[in-house]
Amino acid sequence: MFHNYLMAALRNLARNRLYAGINIGGLAVGFAAAILIGLFVRDEFSYDSFIPGHRHVYRVATFRVLPGRGPIFVPVVPPDVAAWIKLDFPKVQSAARLASEQVGLRRGNFEASEYVAWADPSIFEVLPLKVFAGNLRTALQRPDAIVLTRQMARKYFGRDNPIGETIEINRQHSMQVTAVLMDLPSNTHLDARIFASGRAAYSRLAVLDAMPGPAIQKPWNTFTYIRLSPAASIDELARALPDFVDRHLQFPGA
């Protein structure tokens, strides 16, 4: 019975080839579009999910409300915010900052311009990225420490594991490779490929910390990340943030 139905359908398609081609082609295009949309949505929802415990990690951002305009989202905060959050909220397990800066990176006769993410030593406690070689817990403790992805390690050293080797920043400061990270996936907001210790006196973080005056008058260009304890509630923390801002971020004389 099924064979008869199949043969009848094929004969009908053969008699109406143009009509059949349009319908089959449209169906194929529809299926392909649905599959592509599904893959795109899945990729969007998987952003940063490769980070262990990513559900407890948050980036502190700023909403600025200007007269006559809607709120503006800014993904950075003043450099002092990380320390304040750690002190004011015991359920924040760790906090760390990133401040990117374009520098000249040189190894031997090879030199190129790169963006370096100056980072607090605790950055890999908040964002435990996948490591290829080295110990991330201690990787940025030294002020001359630098961490590369495998891609950057191959670019400057020609191999995946150059731990212990040195590289120069701006032809002035010698940094020692202390760890190598696995290359970051495409579905992440992190675009850093080089992490350098913020404890260096010439680092972007150290320069910001040394600036005089209140925090609100310092450049707002620091990415700040926090990791909450598993029992903590992000909603509770969010409700406490307005008072937190009022305590710490007031203009002088306000």
Burial of 206 (0-12, 13-18, 19+ CB in 10 A): middle
Amino acid at 126: V
Give the distance, in angstroms, between the CA of residue 115 and the centroid of all CA atoms in the same chain.
14
Burial of 66 (0-12, 13-18, 19+ CB in 10 A): exposed
Q: Helix 234-248 vs helix 81-88: angle between axes, to the nearest 10 degrees?
A: 120
- pLDDT number for residue 174: 95
- What tens-digit pLDDT sequence spans the chain (254 residues)? 556 655 665 666 566 666 666 767 777 888 888 888 887 877 777 788 889 999 999 999 888 777 777 778 888 988 999 999 999 999 999 999 999 999 999 999 999 999 999 999 999 999 999 999 999 999 999 999 999 999 999 999 999 999 999 999 999 999 999 999 999 998 898 989 999 999 999 999 999 988 887 777 787 889 999 999 988 888 898 899 889 888 887 755 54
Amino acid at 132: F
* 169: nearest Cα among 134, 144, 133, 205: 144
Distance linking the first and last C-alpha atoms of the chain = 87
- pLDDT number for residue 206: 93
* 95: nearest Cα among 135, 122, 56: 122
* 120: nearest Cα among 196, 24, 211: 196
Give the distance, in angstroms, between the CA of residue 39 and the centroid of all CA atoms in the same chain.
21
- pLDDT number for residue 71: 79
Burial of 227 (0-12, 13-18, 19+ CB in 10 A): buried
Contacts of the segment 88-92: beta carbons below 8 A, 24+ positions apart: 88/240, 88/244, 88/247, 89/237, 89/240, 91/228, 91/229, 91/231, 91/232, 91/237, 92/226, 92/227, 92/228, 92/229, 92/232, 92/237
Which pTM does this prediction carry? 0.83
CA angle 36–40–45, rounded 5-degree value: 150
Q: How far apart are CA 33 and CA 85, in angstroms?
A: 45
